[in-house]
Structure 1
Amino acid sequence: MSILYGVLKEHGIAATASELQRLGADMQRYATGAGLVILDGRLGMGVQPYLSHMRSTFERGPVKSPQGRYVLSFDGRLDNYESLAEELRVKHPETLSDSQIALAAFARWGEACFSRFVGDWALALWSETDQSLYLSRDHAGARSLYYRHTQCETVWGTYLEAFHLTDDTLQLSHDYAACYMAGRQVGDLTPFEGIYSVPPAHFLKVHKGVLSRHQHWNSTVMTTVQYRTDTEYEEHFLALFRNSVERRSGPGEPILAQLSGGMDSTAIVCMSDFLRRRKYPNAEILDTVSFYDDSEASLNERPYFSITEARRGKVGAHVNTAFSQRTFEPHDGSGGVYLMPGADSFSIEQERRLHSAAWKRDYRSVLSGIGGDEVLGGVPDPLPELAGHLLSGNVSQLLRRSLAWSLVDRSPLVGMLWRTVRYTGGLYLNPGPKEIDLPPWLSQSLRERALRIESVKAMVPARIGIAPHRIDNSSAWWFVMETLPHLFPQLLVRPEYRYPFLDKDLVSFLFSVPREQILRPGRRRSLMRRALINIVPHEVLERRRKAFQLRAPLHAVQQASEVLEGLFANSMIADAGLVDGDKLRHSLRQTVEGDPKWWHLILRATAFELWLRSMRGGSGERAGDAGLRLIA
């Protein structure tokens, strides 16, 4: 991993060392060494090292091609560097950095090279040949990369700190506010007007001052893998999952694995143990950290992660993350501010506890199980499969599978068929957002923004001819992209997050197999359970789906009702015209009285209010005062 930053000025204007120094200044504390820069006319590129895996030690900052036609700064890991080198006829790839191989790939294939890369990466590349700048992220966006593009310059950075977001010239993005407080996907938006995230699976090209956006990987996977037996699917999955974990837990700096009581993180930890001990029974295995909430029995993961700890003979760090610890008061930003909503005054204390409990060995990377639920059938929804049978006209299969699911759900067959028809119609005929789904307190301006942005994403023509389960897979994929923890960086440390279930080869396979392999009536995660029967403890593998955590947030809101009433009585989001304060307080009272309809979006509004106050140093200043400007 590396920390990237840079600037491309308009023609006739040279980039300066002082500009690069300013861009990198606030990110240097997260690097593992001093950064290196390249200044070449109107281009300035900087890289600060973050050594995390064995091949990252080969990186030496921005690199130039031998003829000086291309300049590249690279963050991440190319898992297929050997096969790329073979295609490129590059000798001894084990002695070359991933930057050098990526640069050679661009020299050979141009823009098409990005689709060939397998791994977790982000990059900035300058082509002197056609005077174009490229910014790109891998298929899953496992590395962050932000940018600001104007007529005068394009600026980019791994972290939002590159843009000095505490300056009083910055303006709140009302598009982001609308999507965030409506509970919709924010996509490439950030809370700051004019600053965007490079989308996962895309590359941006800046040529002659014009920015264009291009896709290099499509989450709507159109290929189909068809085997004769279940065993063949299981073996293929197992091989790809093994390879994915091995890619992300190989030699390098210390790795910390998250271990919850669920199947996903447990599968990763157990597979890593298997890989490390298959040759050397006494080999060192990964350290783990487990989060728990024992305030309610249905939420407590401790009994399940303890089973795995006992089996592997190693107890990890345990951190209490009970929702009841939240204060619903703004974070004191005097020691640094959280640049994304979601933190309160307890967040930094939570970081300190985690740091004290788990960061004793200077871990550089964290293995996370995020994504497993979405790509492996964690949600037992039969409708995408049944809709496929309906559209294909396979009436016998539709009736047979609908009956099987009806028996599991204990629902009438007619009801299941009607739900399938409604789902199919909504998927193709009217997939756009509904006004009724928006919280009543959202201002008219933000309501219009949220509906407009969501409508663009749900265009009907883009869905015609695509099978329902493929649309569902793609929707689930982009939902996961919004939840990755590296997008909500901590203040004390910035570890490299690795997501084995988001591996490009693995996901492409899982999105290509028949739906009934992934999910079967009464048997969610069917493929995963069958394939990992000898890897994951039986108690975890056969565990019922983890409890949906509704009671804990509701109880926390009820306990903090007076604090929240006071917060919204003097609300910055109301003062800025983002919400109707009276309607927000009314909905809060309904939630406190036990109505769960808007609890999630009440928490979103709370988080946004607290974030704005934190950006203002914890005060409730009016919208026109110094600091982040709230009114366009």
Structure 2
Amino acid sequence: MCGIAGWIDWQEDLSQQQSILKDMTDSIVHRGPDADGFWFSERAAFGHRRLIVIDPEGGKQPMLYQDGNYTVALTYNGELYNYLELRDELETLGHSFKTSSDTEVLLHSYLEWGEDCIRRFNGIFAFGIWDERRSRLMLGRDHLGVKPLFFTKRDNGIIFGSELKVLLSHPKVDAKIDRKGLAEVFALGPMRTPGVGVFKDIEEVRAGHYMIITEEKTETKQYWQLESQEHRDDVDTTVSKIRSILEDTVKRQLLSDMPLVSMLSGGLDSSGLTAIAGKEYKENGKTLETYSIDFVNSEEDFEQDFLRRDLDEPWVRKVSEHVGTKHHSVVFGADKLVENLLVPMRARDLPGVGEIETSLYLLFKEMKKEATVALSGESADEVFSGYPWFHQKEFLDADVYPWLVNLGFISNLLSEDLKAKIRPEEYRKERFQEAVAEVPFLEGEDELQAKQRQMSYMFITRFLPFMLDRKDRSSMMTGFEVRVPFCDYRLVEYLWNIPFEMKSIDNIEKGILRRAFEGYLPDDVRNRRKSAYPSTKDAAYLEGVSKWMLRVLDNPDSPILPLLDVEKVRKIAEGKVERITGGQARGLFDYLLQINGWLEEYEIEIEL
């Protein structure tokens, strides 16, 4: 895993632009703390920050292929899980390799198959390839968008990088936000629209897409998409195929030259992956190490609710003992969470979700002390349709994203001027309708099945990107790589067409996955009901963010003030609005504090 930066210009000579490119690359040193690399030509400048995972000596970047008077240069972030098969195929076609890295395989894949190479990759990746023969740039991103890639066009060229801060480090790029960007921030929250970079004139390469850019034109092509067809496999065959794909995926994703561990929450998803990985480790005479997160006084403070039915830690211990892992439980208090609230915002370059993101960052920071790579159960709920919303009519019939149905109260806290200019309710509905228009409905499905397919599409293409952003930025901020086996595109393709009633077989969410993990996990673990990502219940956290919010409201220089109905927010911070629960207030303050910090630290110019 790494961080990439690049600048192409068809008019300006870039061969002497070392200072600018170094600033761009240095901005993401956290993504690659082990090494840096640079390459310059008249038309192109590439930078790279490296986190060593595979082939410490041979995977240095930018990587070049030179033949006579031309060069093909690659800067790449990610892992190709099928690179050994691709390497064997390329060798039969006459290619020779100097390293053992997947980077060189990606480069030679491009040399052999051109832009179609991306259709052969199984992995998580974002890359830029400059081809001097054609004077063109190729930007590519993995199927589900696990790895980020942003770009902006300026004058006669294009600037790209792993994170927004790469672009903002360039002197031609100013931190500006217009009405559309503010609508993203206040109407959609951190679940931004795919392809939108929020900052003015900044975009991202969408998941499953690549771009070909020349001086004359820019082409964006979708190389992967969900395709609807009738699911013909019976239950037993479906379970067997899911199990087979997961076993193959986990085995591939255990490949690392650096220490690898597994995240373990005690829930179905991470427990199942841990069991598969633990078996592989045991067969090779090794012990898998696992990590979980907990909070100070969690037992005393725990309150059962719709999202969290019981404590994770007893289940974590049970799975660890069953699989035979060496387990580490990392415990945090409210003070640590408040202290680090703005770190995820700095990692994203955008406001995030607050405490549950902060705790994830702190967990990765601890894991980094002993390892470089981890497996995560992220995305199982999205691809297996595991949320309750899939069978609740209120959400199936809604004309906005289901996760926004109950979040409209934030709009009521905006200033009247801002509401009039960004029209948050209309913006939500417009973005939702755009997503609906993309859904590949299947002829012959009844109304309920079509609604459930639509819901599945929303979660895979709109909600999952937020979860993957959260995981990538929180982990890479600490120079730590997290792999997500449930995002293997082969699994996602297969699951897409499994009817919801089969996915939820045995009258339980993700019932089909529970059957696939039979034999790997004890029955009570397999049948444990879903429990959301843990969150501190310590009253000191709400007290801390409430006081912080009041300080922001009392400071006339706080940049967020013109955007808010200050008195409404003040009443909530003072605890004078009974209909707002403590949990809602925490989430609200987490987000508003990050917005204020973002506007302030990034010195953002607002254009209304």
TM-score (norm 1): 0.78
Residue 40 of structure 1: aligned partner:
41
1:224-303 matches, within 5 Å, as: 224-227=230-233, 229-277=234-282, 279-280=283-284, 283-293=285-295, 294=298, 295-296=301-302, 298=304, 300-303=311-314
Question: What's the CA shift for 1:543?
Answer: 1.0
Residue 151 of structure 1: aligned partner:
155
**Secondary structure, counterpart of 2:508 in structure 1:** coil
| Structure 1 residue identity aligned to 2:503 | I
The answer on whether the counterparts of 1:569 and 1:581 sit within 8 Å (CA) in structure 2 is: no
| Structure 1 residue identity aligned to 2:413 | W
| Structure 2 residue identity aligned to 1:535 | Y
Residue 318 of structure 2: aligned partner:
307
Question: What's the CA shift for 1:50?
Answer: 1.6
Query: 2:607 & 2:398 partners in 1: Cα distance?
Result: 40
Query: 2:359 & 2:533 partners in 1: Cα distance?
Result: 26
Q: 1:425 to 1:493 in 2, by over 3 A?
A: closer
| Structure 1 residue identity aligned to 2:596 | L
Residue 387 of structure 2: aligned partner:
379
1:334-373 matches, within 5 Å, as: 339-342=349-352, 355=365, 357-361=366-370, 363-373=371-381
Residue 603 of structure 1: aligned partner:
587
**Secondary structure, counterpart of 2:248 in structure 1:** helix
| Structure 2 residue identity aligned to 1:23 | M
Moved more, 72-81 or 541-550: 541-550
| Structure 2 residue identity aligned to 1:310 | E
TM-score (norm 2): 0.81
Query: 1:65 & 1:322 partners in 2: Cα distance?
Result: 54
Overall identity of the aligned pairs, in %: 18
1:318-467 matches, within 5 Å, as: 318-321=329-332, 326-327=337-338, 331=342, 339-342=349-352, 355=365, 357-361=366-370, 363-381=371-389, 383=391, 419=393, 423=396, 439-442=411-414, 443-445=418-420, 447-448=422-423, 451-452=426-427, 455-459=430-434, 461-463=437-439, 465-466=441-442, 467=450
Residue 452 of structure 2 is aligned to residue 477 of structure 1:
no
Residue 139 of structure 2: aligned partner:
135
| Structure 2 residue identity aligned to 1:194 | D
Residue 52 of structure 1: aligned partner:
53
Query: 1:13 & 1:223 partners in 2: Cα distance?
Result: 51
1:87-102 matches, within 5 Å, as: 89-90=92-93, 97-102=101-106
Question: What's the CA shift for 1:318?
Answer: 1.4
How many residues of Structure 1 are paired with residues of Structure 2 in the alignment? 578
Query: 1:116 & 1:25 partners in 2: Cα distance?
Result: 32
- Residue-by-residue CA offset, 1:114-163 (whole Å, 9 max, x unaligned): 23321111110123344322222101222222222222431122234423
Moved more, 538-547 or 101-110: 101-110
The answer on whether the counterparts of 1:439 and 1:601 sit within 8 Å (CA) in structure 2 is: no
Selected match of 2:228 from 222, 228, 238:
222
Question: What's the CA shift for 1:591?
Answer: 7.8
Moved more, 42-51 or 154-163: 154-163
**Secondary structure, counterpart of 2:273 in structure 1:** helix
Question: What's the CA shift for 1:308?
Answer: 1.4
Residue 581 of structure 1: aligned partner:
566
**Consecutive unaligned residues in structure 2, runs of 5 or more:** 443-449
Selected match of 2:115 from 111, 114, 125:
111
| Structure 1 residue identity aligned to 2:454 | I
Moved more, 557-566 or 75-84: 557-566
Question: What's the CA shift for 1:381?
Answer: 4.9
Residue 13 of structure 1: aligned partner:
13
Query: 1:433 & 1:347 partners in 2: Cα distance?
Result: 22
**Secondary structure, counterpart of 1:7 in structure 2:** strand
Query: 2:441 & 2:359 partners in 1: Cα distance?
Result: 51
| Structure 2 residue identity aligned to 1:629 | E
The answer on whether the counterparts of 2:341 and 2:590 sit within 8 Å (CA) in structure 1 is: no
The answer on whether the counterparts of 1:332 and 1:614 sit within 8 Å (CA) in structure 2 is: no
Query: 1:530 & 1:332 partners in 2: Cα distance?
Result: 39
Question: What's the CA shift for 1:165?
Answer: 5.3
Residue 206 of structure 1: aligned partner:
213
Question: What's the CA shift for 1:508?
Answer: 1.3
**Consecutive unaligned residues in structure 1, runs of 5 or more:** 384-415, 618-625
**Secondary structure, counterpart of 1:577 in structure 2:** helix
Query: 2:493 & 2:56 partners in 1: Cα distance?
Result: 25
**Secondary structure, counterpart of 1:122 in structure 2:** strand
The answer on whether the counterparts of 1:140 and 1:502 sit within 8 Å (CA) in structure 2 is: yes
- Residue-by-residue CA offset, 1:580-604 (whole Å, 9 max, x unaligned): 22333355567852534x9658734
Question: What's the CA shift for 1:232?
Answer: 1.4
Q: 1:36 to 1:558 in 2, by over 3 A?
A: closer
| Structure 1 residue identity aligned to 2:350 | M
Residue 317 of structure 1: aligned partner:
328
| Structure 1 residue identity aligned to 2:423 | E
Question: What's the CA shift for 1:260?
Answer: 0.6
- Residue-by-residue CA offset, 1:161-199 (whole Å, 9 max, x unaligned): 423559895224553443233344313344533333332
Residue 604 of structure 2 is aligned to residue 628 of structure 1:
yes
**Secondary structure, counterpart of 2:291 in structure 1:** strand
| Structure 1 residue identity aligned to 2:222 | Q
Question: What's the CA shift for 1:91?
Answer: 5.5
Query: 1:347 & 1:438 partners in 2: Cα distance?
Result: 20
The answer on whether the counterparts of 2:8 and 2:45 sit within 8 Å (CA) in structure 1 is: yes
Residue 445 of structure 2: aligned partner:
none
Moved more, 61-70 or 345-354: 345-354
Selected match of 1:510 from 453, 478, 495:
495
The answer on whether the counterparts of 1:323 and 1:553 sit within 8 Å (CA) in structure 2 is: yes
Residue 88 of structure 2 is aligned to residue 72 of structure 1:
no
The answer on whether the counterparts of 2:76 and 2:125 sit within 8 Å (CA) in structure 1 is: yes
| Structure 2 residue identity aligned to 1:80 | N
Query: 1:180 & 1:115 partners in 2: Cα distance?
Result: 33
**Secondary structure, counterpart of 2:206 in structure 1:** coil
